[in-house]
Structure 1
Amino acid sequence: MKHFDVAIIGAGIAGASIASEIGADRSVLLLEAEDHPGYHSTGRSAAFWTESYGGPLVQPLTTASRAFLDNPPAEFSQTGFLRPRGAVNIGRDDEQHLADKFLADFADNGLTMARWSWAQAAALVPDLKPIWKHAIHEPECRDIDVAALHAAYLADAKRKAVDLKCRAPVTRIRKQDQMWELIAGDETYHATVLVNAAGAWADGIARLAGAKPVGIQPLIRNMVQIETDPPSSQDMPLVVGLDGSFYFKPEAGGSYWLSPHDEIPAEPGDVAADELSVAIAIDRFEKVMDVQVKRVTRKWAGLRSFAPDRLPVIGFDSATADLFWFAGQGGFGIQTSPAAAKLARSILLGQTPDESLHGIDASLYAASRFS
């Protein structure tokens, strides 16, 4: 029976990225329960990169990922994964305090932001209603090609001889002779180190391994695509409510996709959009934009998984030897994936962190904070 140095559970963006990072240095098994990697979360992403998303303690990982996403190594991808978009964060007449707090939260992080009037925001967001008096412009926001990035990580892992097994749900984990024994699908595997990159299932995997869960909660996020009259402008930025109740951006063909920015607690599993969430998303959109919603063209939902403090969990379990956490990446897991995977690599392999991680405090994300 083949023994692996590292077994990674979960082949979404977390598992794929860390497999890519360590595949040249260790023998790696990558286990995925579904028919295809990235089915539940990665494949249902909102597909934008913006430095403020996730808050000021997540922002360093996002910023450190920018160079890789813009200009990846040639052997990883011949093209970058980001395209200019820009973002405008907006608030109503009585929400100046939200704009003030937003700017204050990132005052020391060196981000490019500017306070704008309604007129400045409306110049970029046609049909913006005049009640949205407060705006903060983030010109560095980008669209991110999620599918291409995930595929590139998987392809790079394959080049490095990572052994990907799909349709391999893990049903048993135990320590035997100082090694992990895993039953996944109809097969048994052995590994020295186990990486828990199982997203919404991360706490369940921890329990199987005899470890204490850290409290990772899966949350449903609903998305809707609509057609409007007039149609969307493709040059329009991402629009985000400063109160956290919506975001939307234009899509190809003059449509919009939008979300009520909801977070509905759920058990790990497949999820679908519900009609109430769709209605709420459209209602909030209509309060922002002076357009007519003609029809819904698509609706979907995905899972976002957060630790109790809403920061990623990256590092060895404090009580269970050779169990490494790479989970709790919420809705920011894709935009932080290059830096997060490099940080995980340095901890997992005991190496000096990549120079792109200079100034990042790894202890903020350590799994030991939950011990």
Structure 2
Amino acid sequence: MTIEADVAVIGAGMAGVSVAHELAADHEVVLLEQESRPAYHTTGRSAAMFLQSYGGPEIRALTAASRPLYAEAGDLLTPRPLLWVASAAQLGRLDALATAQPALVRLDPSAAVAHCPALRPAWVAGALLEGDASEIDVLGLHQHYLGGARRRGASVLVGAAVRTGRHTGGHWHLDTAAGPVRAAAVVNAAGAWGDVVAAALGVPSIGLRPMRRTAAVARATAVDRGWPLIADVGETFYFRPEGAGVLVSPADETPSEPCDARPDDVDVALALDRVNEATTLGLRSVSTAWAGLRTFAPDRNPVAGPDPAAPGLFWLAGQGGYGIQIAPALGRLAAAAVTGAAVPAALSVARFR
């Protein structure tokens, strides 16, 4: 039996559930997920932060527009400041960041070490503080949107990979692993598989580039849960307290095919080495490690809007490493594109393809 809907959203990660939630208020929506459960890939492996100093101007604008929308989702932000640190060789980058974002507070090396005594005074040459940064309850946000979409009547199909699709008679006809689907509009929110889905629908790709990002929790002693997130301005490492240990990453961007990403031992070792160089933590072993795919469009800005060559097809892709923190604004923006509603001025910075 064919499933009928106004809109079929492909992908049940954060992008897909956020736009499905917005659309389901006034439309019949079916959410199609190729895996056995939603949020299996990048969303379910993200240790995301809400950082208003992260990304380019467009990303920062979408982040600012998302902040008031988090209040609608409940208590999902936990304060944790961000401390951008620089070695002597990175002071030029620090100066550039300070110029671009004057709201950041400049700290001298001793003040930086006061925020995180594990930093080596001889390594830290300068720092910038974003005092109102926060940790995001990623799964809480995902459940807010997924549960909200269901309560608004959306259907969620897992194990529903899209095999082929064609647009005829004013509708998209999708052949999925869960059966045929007919919808007036399709939203491609398939993350790293966005171009794969495009090929299945017979439309051109947009040049999405999945990049692997590795993280691990290292065993450590004398960790203060109140430390900020520490990131170097060269974006070669970051760390923060995580339980009784320390979450570390080499901030890698390793090109990858769409896949079930796995951590590479070399990348984990690199994260430990870089953090140990900048701190006195002396990290040696890890309790767990994982990897996810952050998918970028060629200009590293999200693609949100209608495909000019395919009637009824809309993109919500290429969020890179910013997809969680900008999800509230970007989901609302993409929904407005689908329905033809006016785009709020605060959200108009994301380009349509």
TM-score for the superposition, normalised by structure 2: 0.97
Aligned counterparts of 1:219 and 1:94: Cα–Cα separation in 2: 27
The superposition leaves residues 46-100 of structure 1 with CA deviations (integer Å, 9 ceiling, x where unpaired) of 221101222222001111111121x21xxxx5x3210110000011113221011
8 Å contact kept, 1:82–1:145: yes
- 1:314 partner SS: strand
1:118 to 88, 109, 115: 109
| Partner in structure 1 of residue 164 of structure 2 | 172
2:230 to 229, 236, 239: 239
1:258 to 248, 251, 257: 248
- 1:164 partner SS: strand
Q: Does 1:365 align with 2:347?
A: no
RMSD of aligned alpha carbons = 1.3
How many residue pairs were aligned?
351
Q: Does 1:322 align with 2:308?
A: no
| Partner in structure 2 of residue 23 of structure 1 | 24
The superposition leaves residues 319-363 of structure 1 with CA deviations (integer Å, 9 ceiling, x where unpaired) of 111110001011111100111111112221111234xxx34434x
8 Å contact kept, 1:273–1:300: yes
Q: Does 1:155 align with 2:155?
A: no
Q: CA deviation at 1:183?
A: 1.1
The superposition leaves residues 274-300 of structure 1 with CA deviations (integer Å, 9 ceiling, x where unpaired) of 110011010001011112224211100
The superposition leaves residues 138-195 of structure 1 with CA deviations (integer Å, 9 ceiling, x where unpaired) of 0011000001110110000000110100011111111232211111114011011010
Aligned counterparts of 2:184 and 2:101: Cα–Cα separation in 1: 41
8 Å contact kept, 1:317–1:324: yes
Aligned counterparts of 1:234 and 1:186: Cα–Cα separation in 2: 45
Aligned counterparts of 1:223 and 1:335: Cα–Cα separation in 2: 18
Aligned counterparts of 2:340 and 2:301: Cα–Cα separation in 1: 22
Q: Does 1:85 align with 2:86?
A: no
| Partner in structure 1 of residue 326 of structure 2 | 336
Structure 1 residue runs of 5 or longer lacking an equivalent are none
Aligned counterparts of 1:6 and 1:265: Cα–Cα separation in 2: 32
| Partner in structure 1 of residue 268 of structure 2 | 278
The superposition leaves residues 231-258 of structure 1 with CA deviations (integer Å, 9 ceiling, x where unpaired) of 32100000111011011111112x1001
Aligned counterparts of 1:2 and 1:96: Cα–Cα separation in 2: 58
8 Å contact kept, 1:90–1:240: yes
| Partner in structure 1 of residue 282 of structure 2 | 292
The superposition leaves residues 192-220 of structure 1 with CA deviations (integer Å, 9 ceiling, x where unpaired) of 10100000000111122121111011110
After the TM superposition, which of the residue ranges 121-130 and 303-312 deviates more from structure 2?
Answer: 121-130
8 Å contact kept, 2:333–2:347: no
TM-aligned CA distance change 1:211 to 1:106, over 3 Å = farther
Aligned counterparts of 2:132 and 2:307: Cα–Cα separation in 1: 36
| Partner in structure 2 of residue 96 of structure 1 | 91
Aligned counterparts of 1:359 and 1:48: Cα–Cα separation in 2: 21
- 1:25 partner SS: coil
8 Å contact kept, 1:173–1:181: yes
Q: Does 1:348 align with 2:334?
A: no
The AA in structure 2 aligned to 1:117 is D
Q: Does 1:269 align with 2:255?
A: no
- 1:104 partner SS: helix
- 1:173 partner SS: strand
The AA in structure 2 aligned to 1:19 is A
- 2:203 partner SS: coil
8 Å contact kept, 2:329–2:347: no
Instruction: List structure 1 runs of 4+ shifted beyond 4 angstroms.
Output: none
Aligned counterparts of 1:347 and 1:106: Cα–Cα separation in 2: 30
- 2:89 partner SS: coil
Aligned counterparts of 1:20 and 1:252: Cα–Cα separation in 2: 32
| Partner in structure 1 of residue 239 of structure 2 | 248
